[in-house]
Amino acid sequence: MHAQNPVFIPGPTNMPDAIRRACDVATIDHRSPAFAAMLNPAIAGVKRVLNMAAGEVFVLPSTGTGGWEAAITNTLSAGDTVLAARFGMFSHRWIDMCQRHGLNVEILETPWGNGMPLDRIEAALRADTGHRIKAVLATHNETATGVRSDMAGLRAAMDSAGHPALLMVDGVSSIASMPFEFTGWGVDIAVAGSQKGFMLPAGLAILGLSPRALAAMDSATLPRTYFDLRDQQKGYAAGGYPYTPPVGLIAGLAHAVTLLEAEGQEHVHARHTRIAEGVRRAVRAWGLELCAASPDHYSDTVTAVMAPKGFDGTAVVQLAAQKYGVAFGVGLGEVAGKLFRIGHLGLMSDVMMLSGLATAEMVMADLGWPVRLGSGVAAAQEYYRATSTSALSAAA
């Protein structure tokens, strides 16, 4: 028998059938009005998902990582200083990319499991009286540790320091799943990817740029060609792209926004919070710890579960795949082997999540972890019974 189980990785996510079908389009001329009719609703929809009142959205054939590259190369110049906290694999990789582009990164080393250190960021900005720092890089949801940082608080820290740096936010594993306030938080660049909250296959980098970020494109001198957003602007003005776009993914993106809005953005966020809380209750019932250091940093899209002393988190992921055909996420970088991750974003329901928790319990029992079968599932069941709504029907 071949059965496709749901995945419990923090991207790519499970995909609604309706989105898969929406991606399946016949060949059309991407320079024809038919393509513009597909593109424009997708762009307008992403603006609404970002809560963007002013600025422009760009949808590029790439992934979130390419979105980082587009963000920095379009707005910065070699030798510019950027400020970033390193507190997980994704913040680390963005820092590494900046360094490889010849940027000077002022790094605030932060224990993995903590959120962005807002007080230290504010202090660094205050100390930078000459405004050498051109951008603050933020990882809204550190997917490696299951940690959400406070973007409103970050904006407040930047304002309180009176610093004009651009605010660039990696929202790859938060946007479309957790509240995101592009304009409200004074975000200058937001980066997302198609295969996380938008529930599409991988293949699109999705960016929002504020008017200030758009203005910075004129003076920025880092080399860029394929990702030169000035060329994209010209393409969009003519209803298309300066190259051949992935038409099917763009059609799928427009449909993804339709599904998110049919469910209602607040309901999508509430569903993620509720499902995540059930997972956290399960972890507690197992007697295990989260990597996230405090409740104000709990992520609603991914939960990183610490392995008990003497046990290997990666073994859970390997055995789950081999024996049960179910995918969880491994620990990355500094936390490799120390944890495993449960992804619960995108297409996810109470019932799907319970199957993931039950599978994790079987695997942990198989590996001799001190976890009682049914304990976490029961804790999540109690929580879901008490809070369940039929909110997922719109995404079916």
Ligand X SMILES: *Cc1c(COP(=O)(O)O)cnc(C)c1O
Q: List residues binding ligand X (CB under 6 A).
A: 11, 63-65, 90, 139, 141, 143, 170, 172-173, 193, 202
Q: Which of 142, 94, 95 is nearest to 116 (CA)?
A: 142
Residue type, 219: S
CB of 341 to ligand X, least distance (A): 11
Cβ–Cβ contacts within 10 Å for residue 161, how many?
18
If the CB atoms of residues 139 and 210 are measured against ligand X, the closer one turns out to be: 139
User: Is the Cβ of residue 28 or residue 336 nearer to ligand X in the bound state?
Assistant: 336
Does an H or E element contain 85, and which?
strand 81-86
Residue whose beta carbon is closest to ligand X? 64
CB atoms within 10 A of CB 325: 12
Quick check: 379 and 284 in contact, CB under 8 A? yes
| Residue 75 vs 139, nearer CB to ligand X | 139
* Least distance between ligand X and beta carbon 71 (Å): 11
**Would you say 22 and 252 are in contact if contact means Cβ atoms under 8 Å apart?**
yes
Q: Are strands 189-193 and 204-209 parallel, antiparallel or unpaired?
A: antiparallel
Residue with the two structure tokens 């957790």: 178
State the burial class of residue 62 (Cβ atoms within 10 Å of its Cβ: 0-12, 13-18, 19+): buried
Of the candidates 247, 262, 369, which has an alpha carbon nearest to the alpha carbon of residue 320?
Answer: 369
Q: Closer CB to ligand X, residue 105 or residue 380?
A: 105
Tell me if 385 sits within 8 A of 278, measured CB to CB. no
Shortest separation between residue 101's beta carbon and ligand X, angstroms: 16
Which is closer to ligand X, CB of 161 or CB of 332? 332
Closer residue to ligand X (CB): 170 or 263: 170
Q: Which is nearer to ligand X, 63 or 380 (CB)?
A: 63
The DSSP letter of residue 154 is H
Residues 6+ apart with CB under 8 A from 20: 252
Q: Closest distance between ligand X and the C-beta of residue 357, in Å? A: 22
Q: How far is the CB of 65 from ligand X (least distance, A)?
A: 3
**Closer to ligand X by Cβ: residue 143 or 349:** 143
Q: How far is the CB of 184 from ligand X (least distance, A)?
A: 20
Spatial CA neighbour of 207 closest among 14, 72, 394: 72
Name the minimum Å distance from CB 170 to ligand X: 5
Place of tokens 């809005």: 261
Q: How far is the CB of 60 from ligand X (least distance, A)?
A: 11
